[in-house]
Amino acid sequence: MRASFVPLVLAAWLCTPANACPSSQVNLETRDSLAYSPPVYPSPWMNAKAPGWEEAYSKAKDFVSQLTLLEKVNITTGVGWMAERCVGNVGGVPRLGLRGLCMQDGPLGIRFSDYTSAFPTGVTAGASWSRDLWLERGYKMGSEQRDKGVDVVLGPAIGALGRNAMGGRNWEGFSVDPYLMGAAGADTIRGLQKAGVVATAKHFIANEQEHFRQAPEAVGYGFNISESLSTNIDDKTLHEVYNWPFVDAVHAGVGAIMCSYQQINNSYGCQNSKLMNGVLKGELGFQGFVMADWQAQHTGAGSAVAGLDMTMPGDTVFNSGASYWGSNLTLAVLNGTVPEYRLDDMAMRIMAAYFKVGRTVEDQPDINFSSWTRDTYGYVHAAVEENWEQLNYQVDVRGDHATHIRESGAKGTVLLKNKDGALPLKEPKFLAVIGEDAGPNSQGPNGCPDRGCADGTLAMGWGSGTSEFSYLITPDNALQRQALRDDTRYESILNNYAWERTEALVSQPGAIPIVFVNAGSGEGYINVDGNRGDRKNMTLWKNGDELIKNVSSINPNTIVVMHTVGPVLVNDWYDSDNITAILWAGVPGQESGNSITDILYGRESPGRSPFTWGPSEESYGTEVLYKPNNGGGAPQQDFSEGAFIDYRHFDKVAPNKGDKGAPIYEFGFGLSWTTFEYSNLVVKPRHQKPYKPTEGKTKKAPSWGNYSPNLEEYVFPGNVRRIDQFIYPYLNTASSGKEASNDTSYGQTAEEFLPPGALDGKPQPLHPASGPNGGNSQLWDVMYEVEATITNTGKTISDEVPQLYVSLGGEGEPVRVLRGFDRLERIQPGKSVTFRADITRRDLSNWDVSKQNWVITKEPKTVWVGSSSRNLPLKAELQ
């Protein structure tokens, strides 16, 4: 327990692109040392005056100042796995009318319930590049959660970012680009919280693959490792790439952040003081609470002083009945191991987030469902089968959300190829729909728990970031309905291996085949056909590539639709003349068939790719670590590529079309229904005042302690019925020794036990880059306003997504990075519209490792505007 939060060895924290970290291929036996995460203490306390949080903190103070120590501990500690109705539940304060908060997944809708909607996944929503749709999606998802009684939504996922193209959970987030991810995450948060639920930005941070994210899980698939993966990342890359979306989340006022499973520089995410204390609460001024991922906590006092505010699901290991917090936290505060102010701060942060989204204690809704059964009656405490009650009220919370889901699924579909206007379809004479991915799962849309299979059409990935379908419109279903309206002859073969029948069908005169194929991935606790969360390769599933090649070899009008969680390899067939159109339909949620039909028939405009389509697995330059590389210790995954992931990498190694390893479809690419011309780039300088680092000190740690030292008062009360396995804040006995807590470290003083500074409650110097809502507020100063004219030069109404890229200049920097975009809708033929974007100080800054601050370097800076990361007709130098 002691060693796990005190960093042991020194090295890679300061490695930079110039002074690269060792690669994951290096023989670790020969490494001098492992990457290191420096200690940062004490844990920054709340700033009750942070703009946007004042009212929430004043309400929190009124509430929390009435709480006893036991009640404070109760709201920080989960009651245990499956111990209450929600995926996560903390204890309540019955005396004051607060029931335990309910935490529920997730990023695309409600997990484990009924009469709820399955929204498009993050990556499909991301591909729409539509701020309006993100906000609307967040609001609608939030309303559903609210109406089921959920207090805290476990989403959005803004990490994994997508360092590894085959990373299992990339689809839960919006894009591999930090700027796009941040923008989509922030709007989702605004929407969710506007609906009155606390949003949780997750997973903090660098949780980029499923393999080895948890040592016990890895043991389950045959790798005996003692500790979880360490993702080793340098300070510059951390700030400029992986932390970027979290800054946006904090800036948007997110109430909760979930720390991640794996280690970062050999310190676990949920006890990493550099990241939680230093970056999140120090630099970013995060005023909400940090929640542990499920079983991601590994220490008690150590995680408390490193900045963790809520443990989930509360037990150390599911259903163990033991907790790092609960009674242990009570005792730790009483004996001074954890400072009183830290517990007060946890409670204040949790309640402030709760009040910030407009919730009240008086009107807290009842939870009207259970995650653990669909029966009307069941056990409240499912894990131990106690308290039989009505759990499910089958409340239909879907409202009119299907309309949004359909639109968002369509607008997040990317048109990658469209030869000679093959699309949109216009009352075709004869459609032949081919492939299992067009049809249903024979076990029903929820046939596989947590969607852990690949049968029928793929509308979401698998894992905790899923929901139960109330229905799933398959492409076959929707296209057939359309065909009936148009008097189109329609036949579908929903089997990838029925070649004879398929050949007989698609070779008939006039047949337009639409081949549906897919490739899935998900969370590491489910293995689908050898894909342990992360994909094992980048090819299409179930013979998909062969199916496309076979159909297109005999039919010159073949259309391909791919439902995939990310990029797949299309090299073998994309440039075939017989393939007239290619669509990436992402993972679109319950309206899948309607969404794709709206695109195929041109009723909606398509989106743009939120990642690059490379020609091979290797072309991405980064990979999942599939085998441990550090003996039985923590596998070491060095992010030695720095910022060079996805297009930043491709632009560096293969800048031109035709270069070896150049993208097939670049980041930001996607066709529309027309052609657009870009002209009149105008760049107006605005705010040019110099940047002032933040100075001064915090106030001293506020505390509402006054705890009685009498241990008798904390002992399990005789009048409470003890539920087995349930995690309580009470002590077992009043003897203040080992017995009371089972804490083996008892006997050490707090100073001996904790890192230097961990107990300090005196005023602390402010970090030079810090500010209350994501960092120094001058980072959001607008330095330039950019405008460009976009003209529809074709014959059809269509949406366009102008993109603004900036080159920050200097050695070791990416060629360019995304710094602005807009989705301009329904531009009429012949009409021009103005694209506008602001470039902020933050957009032009690099992280200076030695200054520990953002700086605008003296390097020349260029701005580009165009329709993708590689099609940038407008360019200007910034003065």
By beta-carbon proximity to ligand NOJ, the closer residue of 140 and 202 is 202
- In terms of CB distance, is 89 or 868 closer to ligand NOJ? 89
In the block, tokens 């929503």 appear at: 125
When CB distances to ligand NOJ are compared, the closest residue is 464
Residue 89 contacts residue 291 (beta carbons within 8 Å): no
Q: Where are the alpha helices (DSSP H) in 221-376?
A: 235-237, 244-251, 273, 301-306, 327-334, 340-356
Catalytic residue among 293, 455, 476, 799: 293
Burial of 697 (0-12, 13-18, 19+ CB in 10 A): exposed
CB of 311 to ligand NOJ, least distance (A): 13
Q: Residue 729 CB, nearest distance to ligand NOJ (Å)?
A: 22
Q: Which is nearer to ligand NOJ, 209 or 464 (CB)?
A: 464
Pairing of strands 803-807, 817-821: antiparallel
* Of 256 and 585, CB closest to ligand NOJ: 256
Q: In terms of CB distance, is 202 or 861 closer to ligand NOJ?
A: 202
Among the listed residues 282, 348, 343, the one whose alpha carbon sits nearest the alpha carbon of residue 698: 282
Whether 293 is a known active-site residue: answer yes
Provide the pairing of β-strand 230-232 with 636-638: parallel
Which residue's CB is nearer to ligand NOJ, number 153 or number 166?
153
DSSP letter for each residue of 353-374: HHHHTT--STTPPPP---TT--
CB of 256 to ligand NOJ, least distance (A): 11
**HEC letters along 755-796:** CCCCCCCCCCECCCCCCCCCCCHHHHCEEEEEEEEEEECCCC
Of 91, 67, 87, nearest to 77 by C-alpha is 91
Cβ atoms of residues 462 and 453 within 8 Å: yes
CB 148 within 8 A of CB 364: no
Calpha distance 661→663 (Å, rounded): 6
- Counting every residue written for the chain, the total comes to 879
DSSP assigned state of 743: -
Q: Are 587 and 460 in contact (CB under 8 A)?
A: yes
**Between residues 300 and 524, which has the closer beta carbon with respect to ligand NOJ?**
524
Alpha-carbon separation of residue 524 from 156, 256, 519 (angstroms) = 18, 23, 16
User: Minimum distance between the CB of residue 294 and ligand NOJ, rounded to whole angstroms?
Assistant: 4
The least distance separating ligand NOJ from the CB of residue 307, rounded to whole angstroms, comes to: 19
* Interacting residues with ligand NOJ (CB under 6 A): 87, 105-106, 154, 202, 293-294, 464
For ligand NOJ, give the closer residue by CB, 105 or 437: 105
CB of 456 to ligand NOJ, least distance (A): 24
**Contact yes or no for 290/308 (Cβ under 8 A):** yes
* Residue placing its CB nearer to ligand NOJ in the complex, 44 or 106: 106
Rounded least distance, CB 868 to ligand NOJ, Å: 31
Written as six digits, the tokens of 242 are: 């992986």
Calpha distance 89→101 (Å, rounded): 6
Task: Supply the minimum distance, in Å, between the C-beta of residue 153 and ligand NOJ.
Answer: 10
Rounded distance between C-alpha atoms, residue 269 and residue 260, angstroms = 5
Q: Per the structure block, which two tokens stand in for 35?
A: 């990457």
In the chain, what is the greatest distance between 2 CA atoms, to the nearest angstrom?
89
Q: Across the strands, what pairs with 418?
A: 581
* Min separation Cβ 105 and ligand NOJ, Å: 5
φ/ψ bin of 25: left (φ > 0), alpha (ψ from -120 to 50), beta (otherwise): alpha
Catalytic residue set: 293
